[in-house]
């Protein structure tokens, strides 16, 4: 399944609820899920990591749908067609 297909499925199933919830609520839920991901990573619990990654991605795609942005296109432009890694502050 392509990312655009996944976004469409999420839009079809959840857009009404997301619209009623609002952007700030969706963002708050994303932050909560990111915190849960951080805890799973800290504990190195792979099963929890995959669960929380899925939750975070779901919330990101819900936000992208809410704002009607083509996140797939931007990801390709920013990270596949270009390479921003030279700007990353990496320890090596």
Number of separate domains in the chain: 1
Quote the domain boundaries for residue 38: 3-83
Does the residue 90 lie in any domain?
Answer: no
DSSP, residue by residue, 1-22: --HHHHHHHHHHHHHHHHHHH-
Is residue 55 one of the residues assigned to a domain? Answer: yes
Q: Is residue 75 part of a domain?
A: yes
68: CATH: 1.10.287.1080
pTM score, two decimals? 0.89
| d(C-alpha 60, C-alpha 57), whole Å | 5
Classify residue 27: in a domain, yes or no: yes
The tokens for 9 are 């499925």
Q: Is the dihedral of CA 77, 82, 83, 87 positive or negative?
A: negative
The tens place of each residue's pLDDT in the chain, 92 residues long, gives 899 999 999 999 999 999 999 999 999 999 999 999 999 999 999 999 999 999 999 999 999 999 999 999 999 999 999 988 888 887 77
Q: How far, in Å, CA of 66 to CA of 84, rounded?
A: 27
Q: Phi and psi dihedrals of 34, rounded to 5?
A: -65, -40
Please check whether residue 88 lies inside any domain of the structure.
no
* 91 lies in some domain: no
Task: Report yes or no on 64 lying in a domain.
Answer: yes
């Amino acid at each position: 399944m392509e990312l655009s297909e996944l976004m469409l499925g999420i839009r079809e199933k959840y857009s009404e609820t997301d619209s009623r919830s609002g952007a700030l609520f969706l963002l708050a839920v994303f932050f909560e899920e990111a915190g849960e991901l951080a805890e799973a990573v800290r504990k190195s619990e792979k099963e929890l990591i995959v669960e929380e990654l899925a939750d975070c991605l779901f919330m990101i795609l819900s936000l992208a749908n809410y704002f009607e942005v083509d996140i797939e296109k931007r990801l390709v432009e920013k990270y596949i067609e270009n390479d921003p890694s030279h700007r990353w502050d990496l320890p090596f």
